[in-house]
Structure 1
């Protein structure tokens, strides 16, 4: 999506300025030991007013600093991210796994960037010819831009569900279910239809920072109200196609038989005898039942 077509409130993910939590953990432990040592030392001595003032001047800020450090720790698991905001302003996304630390007044919103898999419900759609069909798909998607997913749509998971349904309906109505005269059909062009569906989903989900890794139709059938009629039509088309192939083969075989008889001068055939032979051969080759030979002891003209 070009910048000219991006929504006005579109966000862009950027790296957050966070720190390693292990470094801050070492600092936290060191400061805690120093505070504990100071308390033990003060309890085992008879301090004067200056010593008490110095003790309080160190311990009170140290305890506050310990609380401040402890409040800034957070964990990021593999394939997880944390969006950082400061008083409602997006400050970046931290994708570094492990123990992390950031100033405690900065809010952290964790979001998964793992791969998700959705199997859509069966939808009833009218194909390009207006025939009602049932169609369902499987979509593998993940969050690519955490800022867009969190701040450009209200609920990115619900948004994905709705857009999957819209894309499936769009693809289902764009092509016919089947047909010999069509270049692309839902039943016969799986690779092209799946590619078109993926491109449609990527375009629709880009506003939410979601990308689609893989998708494909998992269910495709005529709606129950026309399934019987369409099945009979498919059976009729199959019978016609089989008959066409059978006739083409029979004509070739008859032509070959006549050519061989003429070349080898086996018998001289006039037009009427040739027509009779063609008729007999076509009956033998195209008939569904076994032929019964008939011996003719006369002539063709008797």
Structure 2
């Protein structure tokens, strides 16, 4: 588990290292063959190098994981110049946000139709201990698990409502799911990447389409569905208009129509209202009984 520590400021250690380096130079210059001066200069030089080894600079949105002979010591997330035990081994871990533009995957949706899907994921390291010690390479882990999550999402829902059972109006589709699909993807990514200490900031579907081999057929199907829906709406309106016309004629006693004449009138009105092309009117100058 991640443990945050606050090391000593490195400015005093840097000053001491500079002083020791100067003393070492002075001793070497004034040695004049004296073993004691040479020995003292060597000691000052070793001490200065020892202090310099313990200095570390941490830039903004970076951290250092400290390890002491195989034992995790802690993580430093503060920025600046610090001094730690020179025997510590340190590993730099970035805390900056990172984008993952996943490759476009060809998978099957819930109904078995081949589709192409891709996602953009924004992530960052949240737990440096897990990202360093619980997985081999957290960047590779993010790439692999993100692809697995996108594949699982694509196989969990149909591409669009053409494939949804008409009795289940609340079914989620990839094309119309919108924010709900993105939220589901974010939750799955968070669960998959939690063992690596990765936080998911945002995940969105960036590419979604039928695979090329069925794209043409699905486009025709969508067009046919749209035409049927439009026709149904036209017929529904036409029936209402015909009903209103017959009712008004009857109420105002403009003309008396028997069932046969009503049927002929309904047929003519439906042709006029539902036809795709403009009709040519025909004027009847004779009586209605002809």
| TM, length-normalised to structure 2 | 0.89
Over residues 24-52 of structure 1, what are the superposed CA-to-partner deviations in whole Å (9 max), with x where a residue is unaligned? 22333344455566777x67xx9xx9xx9
Q: Does the 8 A contact of 2:150 with 2:185 survive in 1?
A: yes
Alignment of 1:159-174 (within 5 A): 159-174=141-156
Separation in structure 1 between the aligned mates of residue 21 and residue 134 of structure 2, nearest angstrom: 42
Q: Does 1:236 align with 2:224?
A: yes
Tell me what 2:246 maps to: 258
Which of 104, 108, 132 is residue 126 of structure 1 equivalent to?
A: 108
1:296 matches 2:278: no
- SS of equivalent residue, structure 2 residue 82: strand
Deviations 1:192-239 (A, max 9, x none): 111111111110001111111111111111111211211111111011
Match of 1:72 in 2: 54
RMSD across aligned positions (CA): 2.3
Stretch of structure 1 that moved more, 179-188 or 135-144: 179-188
Tell me the residue number matched to 2:3.
14
Q: How much has 1:63 moved relative to structure 2?
A: 3.2
Query: Residue 255 of structure 2 aligns with which residue?
Result: 267
- CA distance in 1 between counterparts of 2:25 and 2:210 reads 76
Contact 1:123–1:136 under 8 Å retained in 2: yes
Find 1:146's aligned residue among 94, 117, 128.
Answer: 128
Q: Does the CA-based 8 Å contact 2:6-2:78 persist in structure 1?
A: no
Partner secondary structure for residue 161 of structure 2: coil
Q: TM-score, normalised by structure 1?
A: 0.86
Please give the alpha-carbon distance, in whole angstroms, between the structure 2 residues aligned to 1:135 and 1:17.
Answer: 45
In 2, Cα distance between the equivalents of 1:218 and 1:73?
A: 44
Aligned length: 283
Instruction: Write out per-residue CA displacement over residues 133-183 of structure 1, whole angstroms, 9 at most, x where no aligned residue.
Output: 111111111111111111101111111111111001100000001115352
- Cα distance in 1 for partners of 2:254, 2:147 equals 71
Partner of 1:24: 13
The answer (yes or no) to whether the contact 2:158–2:174 under 8 Å persists in 1 is: yes
For 1:224 and 1:58, locate their aligned partners in 2 and report how far apart those are by CA, in whole Å: 78
Aligned to 2:99, which of 101, 117, 120?
117
Stretch of structure 1 that moved more, 243-252 or 267-276? 267-276
* Offset from partner CA, 1:39-78 (integer Å, 9 cap, x none): 77x67xx9xx9xx96x678655433321211111111111
Equivalents in 2 of 1:224, 1:26: separation in Å? 67
SS of residue paired to 1:28: helix
Runs of at least 5 residues in structure 2 that lack an aligned partner in the other structure: none
| Contact 2:125–2:199 (CA under 8 A) maintained in structure 1 | yes
Return the offset for 1:263. 2.8
Q: Secondary structure at the match of 1:105?
A: coil
More deviation in 22-31 or 280-289?
Answer: 22-31
List gaps (5 residues or longer) in structure 1: 1-11
Give the Cα–Cα distance (whole angstroms) in 2 for the partners of residues 102 and 56 of structure 1.
Answer: 29
CA gap of 1:17–1:56, structure 2 versus 1, over 3 A, is farther
Could you say what secondary structure the match of 2:85 adopts?
A: coil
